[in-house]
Chains A and B, each alone.
Chain A
């Protein structure tokens, strides 16, 4: 993972104590963790500094970038503070403050990162019934049991900008249902095997 020189330079602004007091930095970091967790921000960045807002905006952008990039690479908070200390030459207490916020917001940023990308619809529930066809207009023989399955799924909808519930419906015979169940069990077993592997 490489952090661009541009961001490193912006991060070095942290060492300007007279410009960024502890109070301002605290607000900045809180805003940062809130923004990355898709919450509304607490403070207005532009009002934190009276005269020149260039540096504060630069620093804020780089803080957001570095937090996101480190969580994306699943780096521990030690590695994060190590990067700040060695590559950006940031003072120790400032780095510790950043590390604290990083640790606090790590899981929520991770959750947000999970939400980027195309996924298959997510099954949240299932409805089913068993039919038995005694006779129909086209088929004289009885048939059954037939399993009618309706999978309730959630999927992101670009027009709604949010989750939309859809139903995937199908019917199958006992044999086919058995096949499906075996496949699912296979998948579960595979996961369990992977999980147990690491003990040995």
Chain B
């Protein structure tokens, strides 16, 4: 029963019913807690019922309140004994039965989910239904009061809106909302290109009007406007063409300018070289100058040979040094290579370790979650385990009962055979002695004694069975006594008497008023 109590208390706590932490069985429930539990159950079964979760202070209103609750529980279909006494003078058995009944009737969570329509058409239908419902609940208003009533509904009337794409255009074209009237703005924005000449359609569709002049008027103005529009369109096309021409010409002009600049540069370089050549020719024309130049060339050649010798002297030790340095550099290079290899290997292992660490972390998290899951499922597993144990126990008890039954049957059989034996031996001895008693006086006395003996024996047997019965009755009574003691009727009786006294006092007070 403790398990059941735990389940009940747990479910009650889930219903936001305040139950102290130290209460773990229904035996510890006071009437206040019972009332709180029942009213929170009723509230979640039917949200429209809203009972206070406390008993009222006055005794008579207490009884009224408790009978109300009892009536509602009965209305839900509770079959057992239910009245105000069950709530106010509660015992754990009745309370357990009532609470189990109420918890079974709690609405299932899945049923509270509202289906959301999916898809475009169902959504639209739902919106239509919603707005219809809203509109049906609204007051009727005359159309004069409405802001722009149905009389303003006009057929689609669009114009082509132009959005500027360059600075020059922007200077000429006004913003889109000024390109049309306010009533044309929305259709022009939304139904671009859907231009219908409603005027023509209307004129042809309506029945012939009385004043034909009016029609002609409209037609001519229509034609006029159409002509003007055509003209404007042509001009616009012309402007666009001219603009394109201007642009093309500009490009050609720029190209030509560039070509001129390039050719001027070529000209400058050529004049420069020409000047230099002119000067050298002037110098070379005299003989003296030629001699001087030859000498200079000779000197320069000599100087060159000298410098080459000097250079070879300087170069050899430097080359040797370079060689040695190169050797040492290659050695160092090898070492660094090795170091780098080692570093790379270390990096690799580091990476592996990090990946390993991450894997482990993930595993740990997964395990923690699993552990949590297990914990949450734990109570359920425990309950099933407990139930299985109980079933095992019951089966064991059943076997024992069977054994005891067999035992009692055997005893019964023994008793039956013994009584049969006794009867038979009595009749046998009776016959024997009766046969003898015609001849002998002593036999007659013996027969009498035998009869007396038989009677006494019967009495003893009767007494033994009576005793057995009495013992059984005694045991029954003792059990009943135990049960009654558990219900502690004395306390409850006291409480009832106290409540009765209080009610009497209240009645007196009311009478006094």
List of A residues within 8 angstroms of B190 by Cβ? 65, 68-69, 72
Q: Is A50 an interface residue (CB 8 A)?
A: no
A115 CA to B189 CA in the complex, in Å?
15
Q: Is A65's CB under 8 angstroms from B189's CB?
A: yes
Chain A: which residue is nearest B190 at the CB level? A68
List of B residues within 8 angstroms of A168 by Cβ? none
Q: Is B150's CB under 8 angstroms from A154's CB?
A: yes
Q: Is B182's CB under 8 angstroms from A194's CB?
A: no
Q: Is B176's CB under 8 angstroms from A119's CB?
A: no
B149-175 residues at the A interface, CB under 8 angstroms: 149-156, 161, 163-167, 169-171, 173-175
A69 CA to B190 CA in the complex, in Å?
7
Q: Is B176's CB under 8 angstroms from A195's CB?
A: no
Which of B16-24, B81-89, B140-148, B403-411 is near enough to bind chain A? Answer: B140-148
Which of B123-131, B250-258, B443-451, B477-485 is near enough to bind chain A? Answer: B123-131
Q: Is B186's CB under 8 angstroms from A116's CB?
A: yes
List of B residues within 8 angstroms of A196 by Cβ? 133
Q: Is A35 an interface residue (CB 8 A)?
A: yes
Q: Is A68's CB under 8 angstroms from B147's CB?
A: no
Q: Is B152's CB under 8 angstroms from A57's CB?
A: no
Q: Is B161's CB under 8 angstroms from A194's CB?
A: no
Q: Is B187 an interface residue (CB 8 A)?
A: yes
Give the contacting residue for A154; candidates B151, B161, B185, B202; CB below 8 A.
B151
Give the contacting residue for A36; candidates B132, B185, B199, B202; CB below 8 A.
B185
Instruction: Please report the total number of B residues contacting A with Cβ < 8 Å.
Output: 45
Q: Is B183 an interface residue (CB 8 A)?
A: yes
| A: contact size bracket | 35 or more
Q: Is A197 an interface residue (CB 8 A)?
A: yes
Given the interface contacts A124-B142, A198-B130, does A35 sit within 8 Å of B152 by beta carbon? no
Q: Is A68's CB under 8 angstroms from B189's CB?
A: yes
List of A residues within 8 angstroms of B142 by Cβ? 124-125
A69 CA to B169 CA in the complex, in Å?
26
Q: Is A41's CB under 8 angstroms from B177's CB?
A: yes
List of B residues within 8 angstroms of A40 by Cβ? 182
A74 CA to B131 CA in the complex, in Å?
13
User: Could you tell me the distance in whole angstroms from the C-beta of A166 to the nearest C-beta in chain B?
Assistant: 10
List of B residues within 8 angstroms of A58 by Cβ? 163-165
User: Could you tell me the distance in whole angstroms from the C-beta of B410 to the nearest C-beta in chain A?
Assistant: 69
Chain B 110-130 interface 0/1 with A at a Cβ cutoff of 8 Å (1 = within): 000000000000000011111
A113 CA to B190 CA in the complex, in Å?
10
Q: Is B139 an interface residue (CB 8 A)?
A: no
Q: Is A117's CB under 8 angstroms from B155's CB?
A: yes
Q: Is A137 an interface residue (CB 8 A)?
A: no
A57 CA to B152 CA in the complex, in Å?
29
Q: Is A68's CB under 8 angstroms from B164's CB?
A: no
Chain B: which residue is nearest A49 at the CB level? B170
Q: Is A57's CB under 8 angstroms from B176's CB?
A: yes
Q: Is B167's CB under 8 angstroms from A46's CB?
A: no
List of A residues within 8 angstroms of B153 by Cβ? 114-119, 122, 156
- 16 residue pairs of the A-B complex, CB under 8 angstroms, read A39-B182, A57-B173, A57-B176, A113-B186, A116-B154, A116-B155, A117-B153, A122-B150, A124-B143, A154-B143, A156-B155, A161-B183, A162-B151, A195-B133, A198-B126, A198-B133
